[in-house]
Structure 1
Amino acid sequence: MPYRRMPVSIIDRTKVLEKTSEKATSTPADQWAISTETQTRLTTLYPAFRQEIAERQEQFAKQAEASEVENAQQVVLHRCVSHFFQVFNLAVERGVFSASDRLYYGLNANQSELPKLSTEQDLTTWALNLIMGEQKRTQQTDPEAADPVPMSNPSAAEVQTELMRYNELSSAQSAEKQAFDAENKDVLDMLPEIDELIRDIYDEVEFYYRKETPPNRRKLAREWGVSYVSRPGEEPDDEVVEE
């Protein structure tokens, strides 16, 4: 025999409430399968629930957009930092810079491979390392040596510009995520009350049709939003059985 099932997802909950609301609207009050008290709760809670869901969806879209922009800028920053170290290493090979100059950036003097840039923390750390390291390298004073040649293509200033842009977008994304978390909490906070309402709807509808045959009762209850699930091997009883 099919058994009734409470909705699990947010969407399923709204489907139940929508169906109950539509059925109550199209049915004379003296023929309602739910109590007046339950109908009053439905007319209050359902619109409020939909509003909270809509606000959550709107904020999710804002968060997704902010994440997309942040990720795009992370790619730009990654490329900029990677190119800086690649060009610097090539300049070391050509004798423009000495291998010991790598120490200014937090690298080993003989480290010709790129530093690890796989995480956000790696990327921002090495961006700061090269910005501060380039400043120290170019400000060194040695009366017997030529003035230090600044790095270019990209310069440290270019890396700093991209890093600042990334930090701004990262902060904006964090703010949007916090706003989404707040909206999501508003929805989740309503679930106990929504579930209680749905449970009351189920109970009242099934009680109202208690004298019907089981197939008829389920068919009529479905019109009010009650959901039934057939067990494996059972035939669905979608049609009303005439007594």
Structure 2
Amino acid sequence: MPYRRLPNTDQARLRALKAALQKGMQLSPFDLAFSQKLFLELQSFLPQYEQAISQYNFSKDRQAKYGKLLGDQFKITRLYVSHFIQVLNFCIIRGEIKPEVRKLYGFDIEEKAVPELGTEQQLLLVGKSVIEGEEKRGMTGGSRIYNPSIAMVKIKYEKFVEYYNNHKNLLVTTQKMHDKVIELRNAADRIVLHIWNEIEDYFDNLEGDEKRMKCANYGIVYLLRKHEKEPLE
């Protein structure tokens, strides 16, 4: 025996709402299988729901795009910051720069290893400390470090910060859009349920297949059980 299945995705909800709206626009209020009150609510609600889904998908796509850009820039910036610290340590080992300058960068005087740069937060903190530390050292008349220069490190770091902030803002925006879709999704489920219930009640005087066929014309979906055959449209 076929059973009714309510929509469980946004696209299925949209199909159900649009099918009911189309019937409401085609038929007179006297011939329509659900109430005018629901039809007017449907007319008002559907554009809001469509717009919210569109905005959420757009924001999600932008977030994914910036996520990839951020990931690529993170790798490049980490490389530049790491190499700069290594060159600084080589200069100290060769006696060109005194070990005490490590304090300017927020490092321990005896710390010869590159700090952990495995996360975005670590790179933000260490990169900032390295740039500020090198600027302080430069103001005391210290010789410049090249390959990479602090200017190149700063360019890469600032680009990384830009992508990081953009991605963080997009995460917040996408979450807000997602919350809005969830809110409207609940409203869509309520509207579809009420419309479908009224449609089935309207055709309740008909028997089995004939009733399901009439209801299916309004967009109601009926499926066969697992042991049965194809879904009814």
What TM-score do you get using the length of structure 1 for normalisation?
A: 0.79
SS of 1:116's partner is: coil
Deviation at 1:119, TM superposition (A): 0.3
Give the corresponding residue for 2:201: 207
Deviation at 1:28, TM superposition (A): 5.0
Deviation at 1:82, TM superposition (A): 1.8
Which runs of structure 2 are paired with 1:121-132 in the superposition (5 Å)? 121-132=121-132
Q: Which amino acid counterpart does residue 25 of structure 1 have in structure 2?
A: M
Cα 1:105–1:212 shift into 2, 3 Å: same
Deviation at 1:230, TM superposition (A): 2.8
Cα 1:162–1:19 shift into 2, 3 Å: same
Q: 2:3·2:222 contact (CA, 8 Å) conserved in 1?
A: yes
Give the corresponding residue for 1:159: 153
Question: Using the alignment, how far apart are the partners of 1:12 and 1:26 within structure 2?
Answer: 21
Deviation at 1:99, TM superposition (A): 5.5
Which runs of structure 2 are paired with 1:1-243 in the superposition (5 Å)? 1-97=1-97, 101-108=101-108, 111-138=111-138, 148-236=142-230, 238=232
Question: Using the alignment, how far apart are the partners of 1:85 and 1:231 within structure 2?
Answer: 66
List alignment gaps of at least 5 residues for structure 2.
none
Q: 1:20·1:223 contact (CA, 8 Å) conserved in 2?
A: no
SS of 1:31's partner is: coil
SS of 2:6's partner is: coil
Deviation at 1:216, TM superposition (A): 2.9
Q: 1:81·1:159 contact (CA, 8 Å) conserved in 2?
A: yes
Deviation at 1:203, TM superposition (A): 0.3
List alignment gaps of at least 5 residues for structure 1.
141-146
Among the aligned pairs, what percent are the same residue?
25
Deviation at 1:42, TM superposition (A): 1.6
Q: Deviations over 1:89-113 (max 9, x none)?
A: 4444545445565454344555544
Q: 1:215·1:237 contact (CA, 8 Å) conserved in 2?
A: no
Q: Deviations over 1:57-84 (max 9, x none)?
A: 3333443444344333323321211221
Question: Using the alignment, how far apart are the partners of 1:112 and 1:214 within structure 2?
Answer: 81
The size of the alignment, in residue pairs, is 233
RMSD: 2.9
Deviation at 1:219, TM superposition (A): 2.9
Question: Using the alignment, how far apart are the partners of 2:16 and 2:116 within structure 1?
Answer: 52
SS of 1:47's partner is: helix
Deviation at 1:117, TM superposition (A): 0.9
Cα 1:90–1:214 shift into 2, 3 Å: farther
